[in-house]
Structure 1
Amino acid sequence: MGSNPSKQKEKRSQSVAEVRILANGHVPPRRTVSTLSRVAEVSGREKRNPEEPVVEFPQEEYKDGKLGITSKDTILNYLDSVEDGELFCDPDFNADRFALFYSDRDASDFYWKRPVDLVEEWQTPQLMVDGVTRDDIKQGTLGDCWFLSACAAVSQKKEFMKKIVPSDQPLCGPGYKGVVHFRFWRFGDWVDVYIDDLLPTVNGKLVYGRCTEPQEFWVALIEKAYAKLHGSYEAIEGGQSMDALVDLTGGIPRLYEIQDKDPFLYRMIEKAQQKGAFITCSRKGNWKLSTKADPNGLVSGHAYTVTEVRKIKHVRGEDKLVRIRNPWGDNNEWKGSWSDSDVNWTWVDDQTKKEIGLQAKDDGEFWMSYRDFCKQFQEVTICQYGPDFDGDGVVDKFGCYACVKGRWECDKNAGGSRNDLQKFATNPQYILTLPEADDFDPQKDDPDLEGLCSIVISLMQEHRQSTRNVKVKKLQIGFFLYRTEDPTKKLSPQHFRYTPDSGKSGVYINYREVSQQFELEPGHYMLIPSTFHHNEAADYMIRVFGEKSFTLEGPLE
């Protein structure tokens, strides 16, 4: 039987909607738009990350965010005061137990050594050997696969790694002073993080992240710099890959929960990978109990890097494959269909194997079918370093960008959710003006997008560490868009009661950042960021990207 093009298009549109809903972690009941506008947010969502740290930090509000950040002038002045022959010792991140742990754990087996003391006499320690690659990374005993899998993803883009890991930093010989510096994106700005090169060891060996080459040290040192930003190594046990990807790129993250064998999600991953987006995936489970792989070779509660997707033609047909890397970088690899030495590869010609770089090595990287991928992994994170307007996983060029920072203050503008419309109306209200529709090409573009403006909106709550032993409280956040005819006046509680929203981020959730894309008619829109609970104080940042010029003003008084 022949296929019906209109039905195919309808099915694809439904798939897009389902993926976006799942990305926000919530599937609302089927209601009309008019009914939705009158339904209160009964509850927000506390998302517990499977890679939770062993010991919980106490929590408090964000303070100054300067933890781990020291100005270049301060470092240079410090180095000028160091006598000849002495090496830099970081006064802000001393090589002691407190740099390792925030909890009361025994550190008597740990000794701090510099790279020059960790190589053979005939070897020369280097920050990087022949550049940076994903194959460099080997995870140690620290549960920070969420960070290392992000490093592996970003390592495939040289321009980003050059920004994050400045070259020409000797670890011995002329010009060596024992100091190394990295750059991370923190709440809208690139910041420099300086550390000394003393690294934690046990029995003379690096115990945490390291490079596969014994004379290369960028992995161990970037991990230390990231730990400094969080207060200790223990503080980066457990986290979300999408946060690490943003810290490394300043990009826009989207988290997708895998539901069955979704062909649209595969296409989105494929196109995102082709255009250079950064992709990770994770398995649910308790990482604290997973010191070894399951019988199938995969590790529960663990984050991996998606390094390639490919459709493979062979004598029996065609298969969709995904290549994945375990940050452990060892023989803990997938043991099922399409694994390194699987019989399926006998169906594939030698030229194809060569093109995809097939190797039977115990390096943590492996292929698997997309069908098995959907069965074994539960989440995919795609981080674009520019907005993806049409939802196809491809980074689109954008003509306009706006960023504003603000603060929810108790008894002033921290109005909480729509459960109480009087209070909700006190939240900050920004005017987003879209003067004209995007350019439309009837030969390439979806007819449903004609006359609309493609916009990507991201809301991030301030979540940088302020002190070493207290975490910044992570609130349930979200945002709404309402059409308005008067861009000079704030919207009233009555407006929210009787007028449907034009878009929203989804259910309130305790992520550091929530983002969503919209296709809107030209006009004026009120953009309202809020926390779920009333009177929760926090700093926030809104980023908006558009194909055509727009304005973002406010908040209105």
Structure 2
Amino acid sequence: MFTPGVCLDILKERQESNGLGTLKNPEKFLDQDYELLHQYFLIRRKKYIDDMFPPDNSSIGEKLLEPESLAKVEWMRPTFWRFGKWVDVVIDDKLPTIDGQLIFVRPQSPKTPQSPGIPEFWPALLEKAYAKVCGSYEDMKFGWVSEALKDFTGGVHMTLFPEYENPKILWDLMHRAAIANSLMGCGTPGNAVSNVKQDNGLVAGHAYTITGVTMVTSNGNQVQLVRLFNPWGETEWNGNWSDGSQTWMTISEEERKKYRNNVEDGEFWMSMEDFCKCYCQLDICNYSGAFLDGSSESHWNLVMHEGRWLAGSSAGGCMAYKDTFWSNPQFLVKITDINKACEPATSQGPNMLVSLMQIPDQRNRRLTRNLPLGFSIFKANSRRGSIASYSNLVHATRDSKSLLNPREITDYVKLDPGEYVIVPYTSRPNKTAYFILGFCSKTETHTGEHFMTQDSDGKVMRQISEHYQEMNAEQLQRFLNENFIGGGVQSTGGFSLDVCQSIVAMMDNSVTGTLSAEEINNLLKRINLYKEIFFREDTNRDGILSLIELQHAVEAIGSFSCFFFSYSHCK
């Protein structure tokens, strides 16, 4: 796991083309291998029953159905993206039914010359596979639309809030997304549990799918329309441009025949203005980021990195906690000039999509309690500048608009060429969680020298991992003097054994009497930070901190003022 608070090399590809966890070579979800299971049960001539997601009521959940319905359930006989990796999900072919009818997804029976009306069961099997991923059928009711879109595609995802967007600009984005065959979902405000039908026909706290985006000419004026689908298959919008609305009579007969659908099937049209008034959230997801500007087919780069907030070490909270904010993980990003061939039509528009996803610590989605999170983007003005060096943290180039608690938040930002520090954070400090930070852009994303550690730190840590599983005080003393003091041991005395024993006691969170690789990483971060502060405060460059300089240095690291009187000079 990456060291908290350390800038990571975001140029390094997280996934190789055929590496484990990619679409071509997905990981085995719950360590279940389809081929091995297939051979095992084929040789023994037995039907496969999934013991990791058994065909019983535990896989449905206790509160999704009424007890009398749950008692009637009978069981009759895909690949998903999970937090940076593709996983292969194995299920059996048994599906829950009551009185011979499927309980949940009920595939229609197409009646065409090619199909005599035989039901298609693949949607129900796909639903079961996803229910297994979520924990149960009940767990699929929890979470956000964006989670399903991401899990099914693993693509570029962005969230917008129609109420705060310019309708015309938002429609243009949705139109590009529709042309690119993106998946789009949206939701109405309100209580998602009660699902009350409103006077306008929409259901409160309900998720809808966007199935079309078009423009028609009404009374000589261009009108932007959006087509939506209620997954219930009924209960539709009854305002302007609904199935029975008279506004359809204001357009040509040709357009009316092309778009109007006067059938109660859950699908309906509405104007873009009404859409922005009625829906509180819009999610767009596509395999590629090309829909973001639609200017060309040039390659979009998607880079993802895992990280961790660790309570007491690298979980500094939001910018309101100035004493600890700097301790959050930090990522140094270098933006280059965009290739002219990939220049968007509107060069002043955003050029990078930043996403932050938290990884849940529970398998069942309904048991997951997402933390409110966000991220800040700072302009790196100096080659070795870090967040800890900034005297005024309010001058962020960009900060995520609000602290939200979905699984993933995104922001489409405009960043001029240069170096930036991106700091992901939780709303409050000392909250332990794992996360994935993603960047999607047309520009090449580079990382410069790590601005809080030496260039050799990565090499040193690899050497440590090769020779030590744990490091005691004597080994730590030798390591620190060799890598940080070098030839200066004779003049300075270096790190004494007593000091190293104290360091082990302070950094040994696992209380083993030794330091693990992760604890050494945390120590390196602190040492390099203290070095940076020392050299910054040593204004006369004499290698000694005066009392005033020491006071400033200690204030910079948030220590107690009583330390000021312990030493008048510090070498």
Q: Same fold (TM over 0.5)?
A: yes
Partner of 1:129: none
So what's the TM-score if we normalise by structure 1?
Answer: 0.67
Aligned partners of 2:340, 2:216: CA distance in 1, in Å? 34
- 1:71 matched to 2:33: yes
Partner of 1:270: 175
Aligned partners of 2:194, 2:381: CA distance in 1, in Å? 56
Q: Counterpart of 2:323 in 1: which secondary structure?
A: helix
- 1:375 matched to 2:277: yes
Partner of 1:19: none
Aligned partners of 1:545, 1:367: CA distance in 2, in Å? 32
Contact 1:271 1:394 in 2 (8 A): no
In structure 1, which of residues 452, 456, 460 is the aligned counterpart of residue 353 of structure 2?
A: 456
Partner of 1:202: 98
Contact 2:311 2:431 in 1 (8 A): yes
Q: Counterpart of 1:248 in 2: which secondary structure?
A: helix
Deviations 1:448-499 (A, max 9, x none): 46xxx93222111112743x4972331111112222244556432x505267
Partner of 1:545: 440
Q: Counterpart of 2:49 in 1: which secondary structure?
A: coil
Gaps of 5+ in 1: 1-64, 115-177
Distance 1:384 1:288, change over 3 A: same
In structure 1, which of residues 480, 485, 491 is the aligned counterpart of residue 376 of structure 2?
A: 480
Partner of 2:55: 95
Within-5 A mapping of 1:336-351: 336-351=239-254
Q: Counterpart of 1:210 in 2: which secondary structure?
A: coil
Within-5 A mapping of 1:153-192: 182-192=78-88
Compare relative contact order (CA 8 Å, sep 6+) and give the higher one, 1 or 2. 1
Partner of 2:263: 361
- 1:508 matched to 2:415: no
Once the two structures are TM-superposed, the CA of residue 77 in structure 1 deviates from its matched residue by: 4.5
Letter of the aligned partner of 1:424 in structure 2? F
Aligned partners of 2:238, 2:366: CA distance in 1, in Å? 41
Q: Counterpart of 1:414 in 2: which secondary structure?
A: coil
Aligned partners of 2:55, 2:290: CA distance in 1, in Å? 43
Distance 1:235 1:393, change over 3 A: farther
Aligned partners of 1:196, 1:229: CA distance in 2, in Å? 14
Please tell me whether Structure 1 or Structure 2 has the larger radius of gyration of its CA atoms. 2
Within-5 A mapping of 1:214-253: 215-253=119-157
Once the two structures are TM-superposed, the CA of residue 307 in structure 1 deviates from its matched residue by: 0.9
Identity %: 30
Contact 1:68 1:228 in 2 (8 A): no
- 1:280 matched to 2:182: no
In structure 2, which of residues 390, 394, 419 is the aligned counterpart of residue 524 of structure 1?
A: 419
Aligned partners of 2:391, 2:303: CA distance in 1, in Å? 26
Aligned partners of 1:448, 1:521: CA distance in 2, in Å? 10
Aligned partners of 2:70, 2:155: CA distance in 1, in Å? 40
Aligned partners of 2:217, 2:358: CA distance in 1, in Å? 46
Letter of the aligned partner of 1:79 in structure 2? F
Once the two structures are TM-superposed, the CA of residue 399 in structure 1 deviates from its matched residue by: 4.8
Q: Counterpart of 2:163 in 1: which secondary structure?
A: coil
Once the two structures are TM-superposed, the CA of residue 398 in structure 1 deviates from its matched residue by: 3.4
So what's the TM-score if we normalise by structure 2?
Answer: 0.65
Contact 1:400 1:545 in 2 (8 A): yes
Q: Counterpart of 2:241 in 1: which secondary structure?
A: coil
Distance 1:215 1:378, change over 3 A: same
Distance 1:545 1:322, change over 3 A: closer
Q: Counterpart of 1:527 in 2: which secondary structure?
A: strand
Once the two structures are TM-superposed, the CA of residue 267 in structure 1 deviates from its matched residue by: 2.5
Aligned partners of 2:444, 2:317: CA distance in 1, in Å? 31
Contact 2:55 2:75 in 1 (8 A): no
Aligned partners of 1:253, 1:469: CA distance in 2, in Å? 20
Aligned partners of 2:361, 2:31: CA distance in 1, in Å? 11
Letter of the aligned partner of 1:110 in structure 2? K
Aligned partners of 2:89, 2:295: CA distance in 1, in Å? 31
Distance 1:68 1:206, change over 3 A: farther
Aligned partners of 1:405, 1:194: CA distance in 2, in Å? 26
Letter of the aligned partner of 1:289 in structure 2? S
Partner of 2:538: none
Aligned partners of 2:438, 2:70: CA distance in 1, in Å? 46
Aligned partners of 2:49, 2:316: CA distance in 1, in Å? 46
Partner of 2:339: 439
Aligned partners of 2:295, 2:391: CA distance in 1, in Å? 35
- 1:333 matched to 2:253: no
Aligned partners of 1:67, 1:444: CA distance in 2, in Å? 39
Aligned residues, how many?
415
CA-based RMSD of the aligned residues comes to 3.2
Contact 1:399 1:549 in 2 (8 A): no
